[in-house]
Every structure is written in structure tokens, then in C-alpha cells.
Amino acid sequence: MCGFAGFIDPRLASSDDRLQQVAAQMNARIAHRGPDAAGAWSDAQFGVALGHRRLAIMDLSPAGQQPMCSHCGRYVMIFNGEVYNHHQLRTRLAAEGVTPVWRGHSDTEVMLEAIAHWGVEAAITHFNGMFAFALWDRKLNCLTLARDRLGEKPLSYGWVQGVFFFASTVDACRAHPDFIAEIDPSVQALFLRYGSVPAPYNIFKGMHKLLPGQLLTLSYEDIQLKRAPNAHYYWHPRLRVEQALQQPFVGSDAQAIDALDTLLKDAVALRMEADVPLGAFLSGGFDSSLVAALMQGASAQQVQTFSIGFDAAKFDETVHARAVAKHLQTAHTELFVTAQDALEVIPKLVDIYDEPFADASAMPTYLVSKLTRQHVTVALSGDGGDELFGGYGHYATGEKLWNLVGGNLPSLLSLGAGALHSLPPSLLNRFGGLVGKPNVGDQLAKLGDLLPYFDTHSNAYRGLVSHWRDMKALMPEVQEPITLLTGLEALPSGDWTMDALMQYLDMRTYMSDDILTKVDRASMAVSLEGRIPLLDHRVAEFAWSLPQHMKRRAGVGKWILKELTYRYIPRAIMDRPKQGFAVPLAQWLRGDLRDWAESLLTVERLEALGLNAVLVRRAWQAHLSGQRDFKTPLWTVLMLLQFQQHNVS
């Protein structure tokens, strides 16, 4: 696990010293991603500079340092992540006659030799891992960028001021003297809707993010003409899903559980290789508990597990994590978080996240990463289970709503929404309190906001995941760019149920843009490598081959994952309502975080970003009064204001 940054500037051709100097400046911005070593390489003839920061995980010797050249001398690579099957690849290369005098036992060296032997795109298809890399071809004078299949590792790129930038995070680019950090208003609108910036967009003008599963090549002609490169898929999620659906799993429930057990045991074992200490995040939920159980089963020693809890009992899962750890006999460590702890983390968020980011669980994720890094250098997590196996509650909600109103004429839906808004939420809440449903007014008001989206499946999903739904009211002068949810790519073919399509769209958007961004930035901020066994691409492809009833059964998500978990942990420990990694944000905004929020939510600040200040201030007052729960849209605006205040030059 590392970080890299590079650029191509034809104006600096024949200036090796300057190229390396600027690369070192960019490196310094991402030192937290790789505190163990720094390296730089340049090709002065073409103005190319590659910089790398290393977090040494496998092969701690200098033989694993980057930038690294292939044995033939043709390729130079900077790489972030891990390719877990590098031992098997080395054996396969030897069987095909590739037998260099190996410098060490790093996966980076194996990747380079695989690329030199099979070619870039063919080699990538053999890689099992999480990765983003930049590769300079000294024979063809071209640059290749690639990102792993499901988006665990980040990669930003783009032309700014005549310089082509590429880096693990765009923050590294900002150390270049010619980089201009100018917020793109249209992308800002996307952030306000989704709470994160969706790929392929970047918050700064001129910059982009490579989509998961994509590869990009910048030729010498592209460099000369400063032409925008075209990316293409080497592993297309939509095509893979369609292929899996066309070749479905046909065995029994027991056979499906056995097959998943075998796959996950191998995925976990591959991710347990390290030359440094490793452990696991343990929330007490099914996904992290299953990963911890498989780790402990594969380890001759006691696995170290880590969890955090909150002083608000409703959000505290430590008692569940403790019970799982006791059953598995792991060495368990806990940390309890208060509102004051969160307040102290908030100023760090704008440094941790190189774009505005509004998932409030970023705070506990950072804190549990910080706790974990005090003991180990690598941590396995249970992320990905909800998206691949249908675990989120909004799948059931979306399916029920679609079956009730989906596909009706938008005018009728708007009429229904208007009726729901005709009575004030406070009055409905008081009525709901009399019948044991005190938040019914707030829920009905949210339903009224949502109903106009239920004209198509994809738009219904878009409405369900939007932080701010009425973007025309919030930013009236701005048009949102087309995304994966609004026609950037075709949806999978076939007859889809609402909940199945939501799982696919979550995998394509929310998982990579939010969940994996959160895990990568929070863990890397403290120089901790996070590994995610459930996102082994073989597991993802198997999950999509399963019939829907093996993922969601009788309204309960993750059926097969839960059945597998019961093989290792008793039902009595695991069966309880799902909580998720949430924080008591609504309560904090009305209490400990109120003054901080008020200092940002001024009319002047809001209008400076092109926002409807009256609309935002009205939501803030409604939240403070308890009339509505606006924690999510308000937090999104607050994170944008905080980011703008600290990160725009």
C-alpha cells in the first residue's frame, strides 16, 4: 500500500533536476500514504516525472522500492495496492520461460515482468488484487494508467495548465506550481446530491477519476497535442454482471454456501500475506465477523481485532463485537468515541479527503483506523457485503415503493407528493406520537420528496440515494453532468427487479465513490493498509451468478452470507437488528457541533458557492427545532463549506 504522483510537462524536457524536484514536492503531499520510503524517476526527453511513497508491506528490503524498472528496461512503474496472487503469477511466468534473476519477492516486480511478457492489458486480467498504477513505456513513449476492477484504490488524472497530472489523490497534484485548484460548479452539484464526487468526475476543473476496471493510455501524439485520453474497460462491470446472470448458479442452498465458503477462505488467505503485523476491523456485524472468523481459522496465532463505540447507546455496537471476539478468541481492542472526539476529527477531514466527502461515518472509520495502526500495519475489513449480497434496508424500501407507485405518470406522482407536503411535518409528528410513530411526519415529508423520482428504476434509485433532491432549487444556475445513473452508460440488459438493480447501481457508484473512498483515505491517513476479501473479483462474480432468493429471502438481506457466518458463530450471538457504522449526527448537530455548524452556514459563505442560502438556512432551522431531520443534506453542505475554506487556492 502506497501512494504515487506524476506528471508530463513537455516544457520541462531536458531538465531532469527540475522534474525530480517537482516530483519530490508532490510526493511530500502524500507522505502519510507511504512513510517508509520515497522515490522519483524522470525521462527528461519527454518531460515525464514519476514519484512514489512507500508503505512497506511485502519485501521490506530496498528491492521493493519504487519507481521500479522492468528487467528488460522498457517499463517503469509506480504502483499503489497489492496483487495478492503474485506467487502464482511468478510460477506461471517461470513455466512460460520467464526466469529473470529476481531482485526480491515483491508483487511490484512480478507485475512488471508479467506486463513485459504478456502485455499490459493481458497481464492485468491475471492480477487478483487492489491496485492503481502508472506505467511509462520507454519504447513507445506512452503512459498507461489502470485501476482495479471494483475501485478499491484511487486514481485521478487530467490536463491543467498544459501539464498532464496523474496521482493517487488529487491533493498531490496541488503541490505542482502550475496546478490551479478551481472548483467545478457542475461537479459541486453532483457532490451535493450524492455526498461524494462520482467517477469519472473530480471536484477540480480539468481533473477526472478513472472508473474501476478501466485502463487509459496517453500516447506520444496525445502528449504533443495535449489531447484528452480515452479510457476503456479491461473488466467491464456491466458485461460481467450480464455474463453471470446468463450463467446462473444452479446448485442447492447448501452447495451455494459451500462454494462461497471455499471462495472466501481463499480470498482471506491471500490477503493474510504480509511481512508486517496484521489484524481486522470488527464491528460485530455479519460481514466483519465472517472475515474475522475465517482469519482466525486460517491463523495459528490469535488474530487481533479492533472496534469502536459511541457514548450514545443507540449507536454503540461494541457489546456485539465483544461477544464475537470472545467466541472467536481473538485479541480484541476497543475505543469509545464522544462528540468531542468527532469535533476534533472534523478539521482533519479536509486534509484526509482530497475532495469534499459527506459520509459522516468517515469520522469513526478514521478513529478505528488510528486505533488499529497503533497495533498492526494491515487490517482486513468486511466492506462490500451489503452491495454484493443485498444487505441494505433501502433495497426492500425501494422494491416496496416501486411495486406500489413505480412507473406511473410523473404528474400523478407529483400530485401525490404535493398532498404529502400539504400538512406540516410537526403536526403529523404529533399525531404519530399518539399512535406510537413519533417520526411519521418527517417520514411522510421525505416520501413526498422522493415520489417524483419513481418514473424509472434508475431514477428511483437516484432519488433514494440523493442527499439533496431538488438541485434546481439549491443551485438554480447549474446543470448536473451526466453520470452512471443518468445515461453515461447503458444499464444491464434483462428483466430487472428494483432491488436487484439497486444492488448493481450501488456496486457501480456508492460502493466505489463512497465506501471504498472512505476506507482508503481514512486508513491511509494513518499509514494503515486496508484489505477487503469480499471484494475479490471472483467473489463478486459469484455473487452476481446467484439467484436473488439466495441474497434476499423473505425480506432479509445477505441470506447466504448469514448462513455461512452461522457455521462459525452461533445465531444467538449474530441475530439482532442491523445498525451499520453510523454516528449520532442529528444529535451532535443540535448539541456539541452546533456552534461549529453555525459558523459555516452563513448567508455569505453559502452564496459564495452559488447555493440558495434561504433554502439551506430554512433546513438548518427546521433541524434545530426538531421539525425535520435534515442531518444528511446539512452535513453535505457543511463538508463542502469546510472543504472550500481549506482547500481552494
Exposed/middle/buried for 94, CB within 10 Å: 0-12, 13-18, 19+? exposed
546 in Cβ contact with 564 (< 8 Å): no
Cα 473 to Cα 27, 72, 612, 628, 632: the distances in Å are 41, 59, 7, 18, 17
Range 9-37 average pLDDT = 91
Beta bridge mates, 143: 136, 218
Distance between CA atoms of 439 and 173, rounded to whole angstroms? Answer: 46
Cα 21 to Cα 41, 162, 181, 211: the distances in Å are 10, 18, 21, 30
| Average pLDDT, rounded, for the chain | 91
Question: What structural domains and CATH numbers belong to the chain?
Answer: 2-234 (3.60.20.10), 239-390+501-574 (3.40.50.620), 584-649 (no CATH)
**Between 441 and 375, whose confidence is greater?**
375
Residue 347 pLDDT class (50, 70, 90 cuts):
confident
Range 53-80 average pLDDT = 94
- Concatenating the DSSP letter of every residue in 347-413 gives HHHHHH-SS----TTHHHHHHHHHHHHTT-SEEE--TTHHHHHT--HHHHHHHHHHHHHTTS-HHHH
Residues in the chain, total: 649
Tens-digit pLDDT profile for residues 191-209: 999 999 999 999 999 999 9
Residue 494 pLDDT class (50, 70, 90 cuts):
confident
**Between 313 and 428, whose confidence is greater?**
313
**Between 582 and 501, whose confidence is greater?**
501
**pLDDT for res 423:** 52
Residue 448 pLDDT class (50, 70, 90 cuts):
confident
Distance between CA atoms of 555 and 565, rounded to whole angstroms? Answer: 19
Distance between CA atoms of 238 and 258, rounded to whole angstroms? Answer: 26
Which triple of cell numbers denotes residue 221? 501524439
Residue 25 has pLDDT above 90, yes or no: yes
β-strands 68-69, 75-83: how paired? antiparallel
Residue 34 has pLDDT above 70, yes or no: yes
**pLDDT for res 434:** 42
Residue 583 has pLDDT above 90, yes or no: no
Q: Which amino acid is at 311?
A: D
Distance between CA atoms of 574 and 215, rounded to whole angstroms? Answer: 41
In the chain, the N- to C-terminal Cα span, in Å, equals 29
Residue 93 has pLDDT above 60, yes or no: yes
**pLDDT for res 232:** 97
Residue 649 pLDDT class (50, 70, 90 cuts):
very low
CA proximity to 507, closest of 551, 469, 572: 551
Range 629-639 average pLDDT = 97
Tens-digit pLDDT profile for residues 498-534: 999 999 999 999 999 999 999 999 999 999 999 999 9
Which triple of cell numbers denotes residue 447? 416520501
**Between 15 and 444, whose confidence is greater?**
15
**pLDDT for res 428:** 46
CA proximity to 623, closest of 609, 612, 635: 635
Range 149-160 average pLDDT = 98
**pLDDT for res 340:** 83
Tell how many helices (H) and how many strands (E) occur in the chain.
Answer: 30, 17
**pLDDT for res 219:** 94
How many CA atoms lie within 13 Å of 6's alpha carbon, on the beta-carbon side? 30
Distance between CA atoms of 559 and 563, rounded to whole angstroms? Answer: 6
Residue 315 pLDDT class (50, 70, 90 cuts):
low
Cα 236 to Cα 150, 333, 428, 534: the distances in Å are 10, 40, 47, 18
**pLDDT for res 286:** 96
Residue 102 has pLDDT above 90, yes or no: yes
**pLDDT for res 648:** 61
Range 86-106 average pLDDT = 95
> Quick one: three-class SS letters along 452-520?
HHCCCHHHHHHHHHCCCCCHHHHCCCCCCCCCCCCCCCCCCCCCCCHHHHHHHHHHHHHHHHHHHHHHH
Residue 432 has pLDDT above 50, yes or no: no
Beta bridge mates, 156: 167, 209
Q: Cis ω on the peptide bond leading into residue 492 (within 30° of 0)?
A: no
CA proximity to 83, closest of 63, 109, 101, 53: 109
Residue 452 has pLDDT above 70, yes or no: yes
CA proximity to 111, closest of 133, 144, 139: 133
Distance between CA atoms of 226 and 382, rounded to whole angstroms? Answer: 42
CB atoms within 10 A of CB 242: 15
505 in Cβ contact with 484 (< 8 Å): yes
CA proximity to 481, closest of 62, 100, 203, 190: 190
Tens-digit pLDDT profile for residues 387-430: 999 999 889 889 888 988 876 645 445 555 555 555 555 544 55
Beta bridge mates, 540: none
**pLDDT for res 418:** 54
Among residues of the chain, what percentage have pLDDT more than 70?
A: 92
CA proximity to 454, closest of 483, 489, 422, 411: 411
Distance between CA atoms of 647 and 180, rounded to whole angstroms? Answer: 11
Torsion of CA 418, 422, 427, 429, to 10 degrees: 0
Which triple of cell numbers denotes residue 578? 442491523
Query: Of the ranges 80-84, 134-138, 577-581, 611-615, which one carries the lowest mean pLDDT score?
Result: 577-581
Residue 12 pLDDT class (50, 70, 90 cuts):
confident
Tens-digit pLDDT profile for residues 462-478: 999 999 999 999 999 99
Range 253-259 average pLDDT = 98
Query: Of the ranges 35-44, 224-233, 428-437, which one carries the lowest mean pLDDT score?
Result: 428-437
Residue 451 pLDDT class (50, 70, 90 cuts):
confident
Range 64-74 average pLDDT = 96
Beta bridge mates, 278: 378
β-strands 48-54, 214-218: how paired? unpaired
Which triple of cell numbers denotes residue 176? 505542482
CA proximity to 564, closest of 526, 533, 590, 600: 533
CA proximity to 427, closest of 414, 415, 442: 442
Query: Of the ranges 125-134, 218-227, 608-617, which one carries the lowest mean pLDDT score?
Result: 218-227
**pLDDT for res 419:** 53
Residue 638 pLDDT class (50, 70, 90 cuts):
very high
**pLDDT for res 447:** 78
Query: Of the ranges 11-15, 154-158, 294-298, 401-405, which one carries the lowest mean pLDDT score?
Result: 11-15
Exposed/middle/buried for 390, CB within 10 Å: 0-12, 13-18, 19+? buried
